[in-house]
Structure formats: C-alpha cells, structure tokens
Amino acid sequence: MAIITATDLARRTNQVLDALAHGELITIKRNNTILGTITPPKRSVTVREALERAPKIPREVGERFKADIRGMDFDEEVRDPWAR
C-alpha cells in the first residue's frame, strides 16, 4: 500500500491511476492526516469462471431430476399468459 500526499496525487494522477490498475491500494494524506484510501475495483468474473465455481450436484441426483421432469405432463405449446 502506497501513502501519498494530496499534492502528489494532484501532480501524479496518471501514475496513481496506473498503480490502481495494477491492484495497488493508495492512501492519501494531507497535513499528516489520512484522508482516505483508494482501492482498485473487484475483478469481475466471467460466466465460465462462475460456472466452474458453482457447486456440482452428484450424478445420481441429476439423473433423478431428469427422470422426474420426463414424468411430468408438459406440452410444447407456448401460450401468452395475458391472452383471454
């Protein structure tokens, strides 16, 4: 974590932003008083990563679920729920 003065922040904004882009935390001081800390954003997760992190169900549970669905009496027709 870097500690910089408010003056340094004003003078070296691009360098501070570059440090943030690389994941560094920046604490800003003025008159030896800490004003705050700028933190980089949390990294977003791709759909693939989210699915890989999702808990996996056992194969037999999946097979039972498929069997239950096959036993339901669904039709293939799409209906407008607001139609009268």
Residue 23 forms part of a structural domain: yes
Q: Cα separations (Å) of 31 from 16, 25, 35?
A: 19, 20, 10
Domain count, the chain: 1
Per DSSP, what are the bridge partners of residue 34?
29
Burial (Cβ within 10 Å: 0-12, 13-18, ≥19) of residue 9: middle
24 vs 2: CA distance, rounded Å: 7
Q: Is residue 64 part of a domain?
A: no
Distance CA 62, CA 40 (A): 40
Percent of the chain with pLDDT over 70: 100
- pLDDT tens for 43-64 read 788 889 888 888 889 999 989 9
Res 83: pLDDT: 83
Residue 81 within any structural domain of the chain = no
Residues of the chain with pLDDT under 50: none
Within-domain flag for 21? yes
DSSP summary character for residue 26: E
For residue 60, being part of any structural domain is answered with no
Predicted pLDDT at 15? 94
Return the pLDDT at 60. 93
For residue 74, is it within any domain? no
Is residue 13 domain-resident?
yes
- For 26, the domain range is 2-38
